[in-house]
Structure 1
Amino acid sequence: MPALPALLLSIHCVSFLLVTMAPRSLSQAPLLSSVRMAAILDDQWVCGRGERLALALARENINSVMEGPARARVEVDIYELQKDSQYDTTDTMCQILPKGVVSVIGPASSPASGSTVSHICGEKEIPHVKIGPEETPRLPYLRFASVTLYPSNEDLSLAIGAILRSFSYPSASLVCAKAECLLRLEELVRRFLISRETLSVRMLDDNLDPTPLLKEIRDDKVATIIIDANASVSYLILKKASELGMTSAFYKYILTTMDFPLLRLDDIVDEQSNIVGFSMFNTTHPFYLEFIRSLNLSWREGCDLTYPGPALSSALMFDAVHVVVGAVRELNRSQEIGVKPLSCTSPQIWQHGTSLMNYLRMVEYDGLTGRVEFNSKGQRTNYTLRILEKHRGGHKEIGVWFSNNTLAMNSTSLDINVSETLANKTLIVTTILENPYVMRKGNHQDLQGNDQYEGFCVDMLRELADILKFSFRIKLVDDGLYGAPEPNGSWTGMVGELINRKADLAVASFTITSEREKVIDFSKPFMTLGISILYRVQLGRKPGYFSFLDPFSPAVWLFMLLAYLAVSCILFLAARLSPYEWYNPHPCLRERRDLLENQYTLGNSLWFPVGGFMQQGSEIMPRALSTRCVSGVWWAFTLIIISSYTANLAAFLTVQRMEVPIESPDDLADQTNIEYGTIHGGSTMTFFMNSRYQTYQRMWNYMHSKQPGVFVKSTEEGIARVVNSKYAFLMESTMNEYHRGLNCNLTQIGGLLDTKGYGIGMPLGSPFRDEITLGILQLQENNRLEILKRRWWEGGQCPKEEDHRAKGLGMENIGGIFVVLICGLIIAVFVAIMEFVWSTRRSAETDEVSVCQEMLTEFRNAVSCKKSSRSRRRRPASGSAALRHPGRVTLGAPRPLRLVREMRLSNGKLYSGAGTLTGGAGPLVGGAGEGGGGGGGGAEGSAAADLGPGPQRILEFPLGASSTPPPPAPTPAPAMRSCSHVRICQECRRIQSLRGDTGLGSAVSTRIPPSSAPLPRLPPPPPPSSSNTDSEGGGGQSPRRPPTPRPVAPTQSSKTTDFLAEQD
């Protein structure tokens, strides 16, 4: 039977195989007595994330539910990574492989280390369970891939996009802690590109300072901010945003970290903050509360800090252990598996690794992080993300996102269309007392609230409140400072109150600076200005009554006086020495042809330069070349002097000279005699402290090192220091302008050192910023701000320096010339009174009347307004007068009184001529009526002399002469002397006609007793056509028609004329 040997041979072979291979099979795949796995931890927290405790809890939880003698206990070997490096990760894996593990879990924090672990596990076909974010860039899909419990990058992008779509966010800004965030959120970026909406991406620098990024976002007015960073960096960004005031209701934050519940934001957020994050915790899990309690107890034992809550990595560790154990159980049901040691240097692999990986992808488990399922790529699927919103004291769930890209929201608190306005709100306004911006009223003790204050900023606030329909309450800053940073990072003054939310607005002379812009927000500037230098100046002497003397110095006036005296003396001597200044004033009179006169008397020599200096001229004209030379140089001298005086007079009367020892910041920095400083803690101090300009650096070094200090606490203190000492105050130009208008001894040195503006301060992210800015722009367009500035800046005591128009002179400028005029008039009146008194006294002595009577008579004649001329007064002779003047006789008696015809020429010279005389030896004037022929010595009937037309004067004889002068001897009539002028002048014609008339006429002499007869009063000369003359007689003449004189013989008239010529 051939089949029997074959059967027996096959049984023998099977028995042999069973005998020989049984030990090998038992040693190679025995029933698992324990399930060993390795967990790699990279926990760098101070108190830990609880991952070690989570592994222990998972092990105890699994081991406690296993029953039967063949149960396999779970063992977890824990390895810690000290450094996030590929070498340390590889070394750790080389320590794990010889242990014979069925799976490797972790690490949680480092995607790069997780990628290294995945590569090594893939080579050895050991399943790797990831619990951290997916690495980027994504590696190509491997045949033996790992599974991950952490949401994929694609799911995270879809969840963020769903939130943005749900609330219709028009734009967003992405803040990345690492450059890989664009790869992680690739789907989100693609969605924005497709929808053409705006997504701005900003990267943190190596110093992890988010301040510049947040400032840029705020300037772009982007309300939605996506932060892709871990929990610690996210907290740092939110804290800085809170300091910048960007956690208000206007801003919305979406955090990509899954540890959002761990963030304790109570100290940096308020009720209006909108911060959204994700959470994977399944709060309905039966072991959730026990898990939280255990972690809390463990935290308290090893850490003094408040327990923040469970970390996602610890929950993922807990779920990873359950997932691996579940997959091993399922695989162990289908086949017996075993483990063996492996080595990094050996090419051996674990033959059950692929099977276990397939079972891991098929696991379905409800864990602490929700439903756990994997797709064919090992990515988690069919899970949910809870959407949480942060509030003070905790957070609340506002929606759920499902892995099938479905979003279920139960709150619309993040709707960006919900905006806040200033209408019907009451804002707290912090400010500081600073003239003229904010001041207390004079009666502020009797007032309350905002009524206590006035000023430019107060009026501007009222204008804004009327436009934007809000109310405000003014509150003075506690420390009286504008605001400066402290070494510990805090701020003082109004800036600190805005940061600490003690005030809603800061309205004052509040300078907008880059350093303040980092911590607070500003409106558009409502006033533009710059830093200027204020200093005290010494003004010139204030214009007084004698300011007209200022154009020349006292020395010049003295030399001018000496020049005047020298010219007068030289003119007098030159005129006396020159023969051409001696001339005959009466060339037509033969009697005075030898008489020479000189017009330059001492008085005229002094008067002539005065007329030339005053540019009024004089009736005295020089004749000689020497005197003309003196006059010419004096006139040239006066021309220059008067022109210079006129040119400088306006400047000296309208401009006050200022003496300033410095003219620019360079001059101020190059000297140490004048101290200079600014307000401590103000923007001006910050400007010099941060300046890189060499001059300003030297000024800052001086101010910073000067002892005693040159910084002041307020503007008033700085102004007082400028006025009372050598101190230059560095301040804003608007304040400089205001105080210069109040104190004329203050001036601005140089121009502006910089350009900046005043703005209204607000907490960063204030929802009212745009409304306040629009209100300020509206006030500027309506010119209201300019009107308010004029109201509070104008009205000072000093005129504007920019006003270069001609200014009118007041009495304080030229009053002195009126004083000089009044003094001159007083002197002239005094001299006139002295002349009047002296003349009347002499006249009273001569006429033997009282001085008072003479003065009264002369005063009446002087003040008569109806008479412009009067005749010489002749008083009746008394007995004593007859003794002093014994006789007034006719011409021809020995030494008689002479009747002389006088005529004043147009040039002021007095011409005297003889009249036609007739009669005998009797008196000149008779007692009554007309006389007849010449009876000698009788009291009546003497012929009167006809003096003809023209004024007359009587030349009296000395006292004691005979009252009956002898008649003159007959002399032949002199020949008529012709005029010596080149052309016969009018005066000569009149003299010739006068002589002809007197030669042919007759005179009647009337005897008048010397003791009682008054001197005859001669009538004015008749017209040339009339031949009648007044009689020299007594009361017989008619007042209407004077008596006709008697004709006189020609021979007698010629003798009389010849006698008069001899008497001259």
Structure 2
Amino acid sequence: MKWMEKIALIQKYFLPSPISYRRQNIMEGVNVAAVAQNDPDYQPRIRTIIHSNGSAEFVAGMCLEVLDLLQFLLKFSYTAIDGKGWMGIFPNGTWTGQSGQVVNEEADFSISQASTIMMLDQIHGITFLHSTSTGTLVAIFRQPHLSSIRDIILTVFHPYLWLCYLLVWTILLICLKIMFNVLKHHEMILPGDAKFIKDSPLMLWAISATANLGWNMTPISSSIRLIFMIGFFLAACMYIAYSASMVTNLSTETIPVKNSKDLADSSIEIFADKWLPMTHKVMENMYRERHVDIQNLDAFTNQLEFIIPDLMNRSWAFITFSDAISVVFHRLNFTDVVFCQTIYSVVASKVLYPNAMYVKRGSPIREILNTRILLLIERGFLSRLNRFYDRETQILCLHQNRAYRGGLTMRDTITPFFFIFFGSIASLLILILERNFKRKTTFDLNK
């Protein structure tokens, strides 16, 4: 957003009359010290440069945009101070990082959008202003391959359905066997049905019907024909349903891991961001769903920039804040295309983590800044800024919570090829058995 456009919008929405204009000048002429942490993983939020004389300057980022809006509304000036780290309290009670700079009055307030959850243990020394953005925890990983023999069989049809299908065929064969025995006992078997009395023709017919192949013999009796028709109709319905379901499972739109529940149920090894304690809890909950107890937490934590190369090639998942991923990914010289063809993301936690500026506890400027931040929220400025920076700084497929897989690979299609190959072999064997049986039957009749 250009500076002149920003001024015009503020004059339109915030300064409707000269009286209200005068009320905005509570901090007019006051110089405040603003501190911000120049974190390389969060450059889109705030970027600071240090001049040769040691002075700092905020040059870009959403935090600077918010600071400029507050400065225009309240007419104050500010001095930029480079942060000495995010936060921390030593065991002896000494404050460190930019929170220490605020508590020790080296700075009047921090403009960095710090996570309020991570700094809960420091609220006795600092006070957060109204939230200016929210953070989302996501898990990034390489999707497992789409298919396997087990998936093709058990995910297409439930095991109970396979069992029911086998049971129906067993009942049909038993009914045929009983019917033939009854007809044979009463000497009512027609000449064309005599060849079905033996077990081998019935089994061959059942296999042939299940495979949706033809049969070289047809029963004469209406009752036997009815059972044959039931068998063929059942096999045709199952074949159509199975084929449609298998094609769906093997399509490029089928994603093995669609959400955090799928990730917890998968065999993907999960890691958490070393510097974000809330990610440790999310990771532990996922492992708990697998009935795995983590003994050494350090073995399952890492830093984003160190683990990304492994994510590209291994079955690993990493939990972190969504707005840090693209920055680190680009810093490692990966392109968006590589990311979208390789990495997938799911929301790891539905909790939104608020981020906010903060002042020293008891600071007189807290209420003044809070009222102006509320105005920015009510007028939609912060919402537009967040949408703008989310769109401009995140990888598109990550922002849309999806990734393009680039089509099926050989490993994805090996299962259908396996079925086609062995299906062809099975069909050939059935054909040979049919031919031999037909020759034997013809020979017996001629004899």
Answer 1 or 2: which has greater helix percent.
2
